[in-house]
Structure formats: C-alpha cells, structure tokens
Amino acid sequence: MPYLLGLDISTTGAKALIIDESGKVIASHTTPQPISTPKPQWSEQNPSDWWNGIAESIRAALSQSGIGGDAIAAIGLTGQMHGLVLLDSAGNVLRPSILWNDQRTQEQCDAMTEKIGFKRLIQLTGNRALTGFTAPKILWVRQHEPDVYAKVAHILLPKDYIRFMLTGEYAMDVSDASGTSLLDVANRRWSNEVVDALEIPASWLPRVCEGPDITGGISEKAASETGLKAGTPVMGGGGDQAAGAVGVGAVKPGIVSLVVGTSGVVFAPLDKYAYEPDGRLHAFCHAVPGMWHFMGVMLSAAGSLQWFHDTLGHGESFDELLRPAAEIPPGSDGLLFLPYLTGERTPHPDPLARGAFVGLTVRHTRAHMARAVLEGVSFGLKDGFKLIANAGLPDDLEVRVSGGGAKSLLWKQILADVLGATLVSTNSTEGAAYGAALLAAVGAGVYPTVVTACAQTIQTSDAVTPSDQRAAYEKPYRLYENLYPALKATFAEI
C-alpha cells in the first residue's frame, strides 16, 4: 500500500502528516516554530528553523507510523502564503523571511498601485496590492536593504524553500504564486507587465507549476536528514488556503469552504477566472489544475469570541459562556456587534476599522452580548458570501465548515440561518497538510484527479439546515451593513 506525506510549514508549526491510499491518517507530528517581531508591525522567521522543524517532524511521523521512508510514494507541500524568502546564487538565505502578517510595506503598496494602476493591477493579479503580499516586500528590501538586494538571485515562498531543501529545485505552484502580486492569474504564469513595471528581474522567479505536478525528487542530503528515500517525488502542492480547501473537498463550483478560525475564510472554487472589480475579494488560482477561486477573509471570526471569552468570561468554558446565549432571540434584542477587532479585509479593506457594540441598553445582559458576537461574525461572513454570489456562483451551495467556531452547534445554526445555506462538517480535520497529501496522491497516480481523490476520501456529516428563524436576521443584517459606513470616519479619527 502506498503512503503519502503532506508537509505544512505554518506560522506556528512545521507539520508532517502521513496518510494511506484510502485517505486514513496514519501519523502526524508538528514541531513548534519561533517567530520574531524585531520592530513594531514587523513579523519574521528564519527559514533554517522551518527546515529543522520539518526534518524533525518527518522523522517523528515516520517513527510514529512504523513505516520506513521507502514506503512514502510521494510528498505534497503547503504552508503560509506570501512570505518572502531571498536566496543568493548559491542558494544561501540572505535575510529572515518577511511574513504574511508583516505590515511594514504600505508605502510600497501605494507605489505599486500608482505605477500599474488600481484597476489594471486587479485585472492582472486578481487582487489589490496588500501589505501581506510578496511583491511589496521585495520593493521594501530594495529601498531599505540595498546590500541584501544586490545579492538576490532567487525568490521563494515558505513552502517552496522547503521544496528547495528537499530537492534542490526552484519551483512554485500557481495557487501560492497568486499571492505574490506578480502572477497573471488568468493565464497561470508570471505577469511580464507587472514584473517589468516593478523592475524585478524575471530570472529571480522560479518556474510555476500545478498542484499535482512533480517538481523534483528527494536529494541524497535531504534523505539523510529526514529518513525519506532519495528520489521520492515532491509535488507542487498549494498555498495553505487552497490546500486546506482540497482537504475538505472544496474543489468544484457549488462546494464552498467556510473556515471559522481565528480569522474567517470563505473559499469558493471557480471553473474560470474572475475578479471582483474593487478588489474586495481575493481571486487566486486553485491548487486544482484548471480551477480558480474567490476568497473572502475577515480578520476576527472565532478571534472575536476568543476576545469576548478572555475579557468577560475568563475561567468559564466556551460552552458555559454560550449556553445562556441560546435563550436570547435572533437579533439579540436590538444589540449589534462589529467584529473589526483587528481591522478588516473583506468587504472593507481597512486596517483602521474597529470593533463595536451598538444598541446597548440596560436591558441587555452578557448573554445578549455573547449572542451578538456570534451574529456579528456571521453577518461579516455573509458580506463575503454576498460578494461571491454576485460573481454568479450557484444559489444551491453546500458549505463545508471547519475551524474552532464550527464546534458550537448554536453558532452553526446561526450561520446556517444568516447565510441561508446548509452547513456540513467533514471527516478530515488535518487541514492543509491533508490537502497537500491528496495532491501528492494525484501526482503519484493513486487517483486520476483531485476531484476523484476528494470524492473517495472525504465524507460529510452533521448537516445543519436553515431554520424558521432565518427571516428574523434580515433586519439586523441590514442595520449591520449600515454601521461601517456610518462609523468609518470615527474609526480613522480614533
């Protein structure tokens, strides 16, 4: 029986996951990763820590599984998107990686937008220029660290540095490349227009590939450090969101992935390229060949509930905190919550947006506030769904929900009512690493396509359908929609 290995280099951990050909998880190990914030708004990691962590996790997962490295048929990669890794001509790392959550590059984003044009940039790359993306980080290094910039020969993303260490090859899959602001997303290739406009040498960019494509084999050196067999194929893989969508089976139009984690992500597959003209949605290539996706991201989803718990429910379990909220009627008796505790991205790309309770009276209790938090986050996710629906997605959507927020039956019911959609859970709970392993299985010929792989390994359960309370959310949502425009100037002044 062939085994597949999924590797995930996230911001917090380096994960190795082994599955068999039926999709059953055989072993999993995660090595924690350090992070550095040398200045305010800066966020960096050392690529050497990623490699040491991944190598340790691979060895531990192989030991845990009881199989040898020669039993691994193929390897898939995933990881945090957007992080800038700069290498010299010998493959040496030139500086710590600047991560997705680093906020130092607004000046460079503005310069990119002015040079290329707001509309043209979105048309080509599917997205606004955002501080999290890779291209403005390159421009920042050019401006502030010219000695480093002068030595650059290769640009990679975090998971692709792991690929380089495993195989010696420079490659990047199109889903992850979509988050660089340098890819012609419609045509799944580097954009000469953007690269030339920004005066970034095209020779620095690796070849792009599809998620299941073979990009190289394990080198003798990597084999000795990991316990894997030399020559084992390594596939293109995908960025964490695209691989995570594969991991829950969101690989064709009509199946939407909804992640209610610290942030909230609405991920909708597309069978042709499209973009939101104002850049309020991300438009990326999917890790599935020939597919794209829209993605809406709200920054504080379950993070809002975590804040509420830590601030007003300390010492209680989440179940204890939310139990009284189930007795509060939909709309929380006129109490609304804006979940912009860390700024917002979709549908309002505004780092200055702030959270708020609106409509408080002496009649409201902590239970009202708890329910208002659940409803406010649900309304924020509905904003993303509405933008995606306007792109012409099917009305009859199956929403596959995951993340910590999905553990609350009350919250799932509120989401089903607010979104007007059936929510289901899946048997796969290993996230992006599981999707990366499935991409490896397709590349190795275990399955003919990604859609087939998902159909044969992922099952849905625990369906929650909209209730007769659905109509009760129409007015509260309309009021919620009016709050950000009314408070935007106040947020900025604060």
Full set of structural domains in the chain with CATH: 3-236 (3.30.420.40), 249-426+459-494 (3.30.420.40)
Write out pLDDT tens, residues 366-396. 999 999 999 999 999 999 999 998 877 777 7
Q: Distance (Å, rounded) from C-alpha 167 to C-alpha 75?
A: 11
Residues 6 or more apart from 196 whose CB is under 8 A from it? none
Which pLDDT value is given to residue 461?
92
Please report the DSSP string for 191-258 in residue order: -HHHHHHTT--GGGSPEEE-TT-EEEE--HHHHHHHSBPTT-EEE--EEHHHHHHHHHT--STTEEEE
Residue 269 three-state SS: strand
Lookup: tokens for 212: 């299941």
Which pLDDT value is given to residue 303?
93
Per-residue b or e along 465-482, where b marks 16 or more CB atoms closer than 10 Å to that residue's CB:
ebeeeeeebeebbeebee
User: Are the beta carbons of 368 and 360 closer than 8 angstroms?
Assistant: no
User: Are the beta carbons of 10 and 431 closer than 8 angstroms?
Assistant: no
H-helix or E-strand containing 329?
none
CA angle 295, 297, 301 (to 5 degrees): 140
Q: Distance (Å, rounded) from C-alpha 233 to C-alpha 57?
A: 18
Q: What is the pLDDT along the chain (494 residues), one digit of tens a residue?
A: 899 999 999 999 999 999 999 999 999 999 999 999 999 889 999 999 999 999 999 999 999 999 999 999 999 999 999 999 999 999 999 999 999 988 899 999 999 999 999 999 999 999 999 998 999 999 999 999 999 999 999 999 999 999 999 999 999 999 999 999 999 999 999 999 999 999 999 999 999 999 999 999 999 999 999 999 999 999 999 999 999 999 999 999 999 999 999 899 999 999 999 999 999 999 999 999 999 999 999 989 999 999 999 999 989 999 999 999 999 999 999 999 999 998 898 999 888 899 999 999 999 999 999 999 999 999 999 999 999 988 777 777 889 999 889 999 999 999 999 999 999 999 988 889 999 999 999 999 999 999 999 999 999 999 999 999 999 999 999 999 999 999 999 999 99
Residue 494 three-state SS: coil
Q: Distance (Å, rounded) from C-alpha 244 to C-alpha 288?
A: 12
Q: Distance (Å, rounded) from C-alpha 118 to C-alpha 341?
A: 27
How, if at all, do strands 3-9 and 72-79 pair? parallel
Which pLDDT value is given to residue 429?
85
Q: Distance (Å, rounded) from C-alpha 451 to C-alpha 458?
A: 10
Which pLDDT value is given to residue 101?
87
Query: Nearest Cα to 277, choosing from 192, 391, 393?
Result: 391
Write out pLDDT tens, residues 351-363. 889 999 999 999 9
Query: Using only C-alpha atoms, what is the Rg of the chain?
Result: 22
CA angle 41, 46, 49 (to 5 degrees): 135
Residues 6 or more apart from 35 whose CB is under 8 A from it? 11, 12, 43, 44, 45, 99
Give the length of the chain. 494
403: amino acid identity, one letter: G
Residues designated as active site: 240
H-helix or E-strand containing 321?
helix 318-322
Write out pLDDT tens, residues 245-304. 999 999 999 999 999 998 999 999 999 999 999 999 999 999 999 999 999 999 899 999
How, if at all, do strands 460-464 and 422-426 pair? antiparallel
Q: What is the largest CA-CA distance in the chain?
A: 70
Write out pLDDT tens, residues 35-72. 999 998 899 999 999 999 999 999 999 999 999 999 99
Which pLDDT value is given to residue 392?
72
Q: Using alpha carbons, list the distances in angstroms from residue 487 to 340, 354, 358, 371, 479.
A: 12, 9, 11, 22, 13
Q: Distance (Å, rounded) from C-alpha 492 to C-alpha 494?
A: 5
Which pLDDT value is given to residue 447?
97
Which pLDDT value is given to residue 466?
95
H-helix or E-strand containing 50?
helix 47-65
Please report the DSSP string for 128-196 in residue order: ---TTSHHHHHHHHHHH-HHHHTT--EEE-HHHHHHHHHHS--EEEHHHHGGGT-EETTTTEE-HHHHH
List, in sequence order, every residue forming a beta bridge with 460; answer none if it has no partner. 426
Query: Nearest Cα to 96, choosing from 169, 31, 45, 153?
Result: 45
Q: Distance (Å, rounded) from C-alpha 78 to C-alpha 244?
A: 9
The label of the residue with tokens 């911001």 reads 11
H-helix or E-strand containing 264?
strand 264-270
Helices (H) and strands (E) in the chain, counts: 17, 24
Residue 18 three-state SS: strand
Q: Confirm whether pTM is higher than 0.85.
A: yes
β strands within 379-457, DSSP E: 398-402, 422-426
Which pLDDT value is given to residue 103?
87
Q: Using alpha carbons, list the distances in angstroms from residue 437 to 8, 175, 196, 397, 412.
A: 10, 16, 36, 26, 28
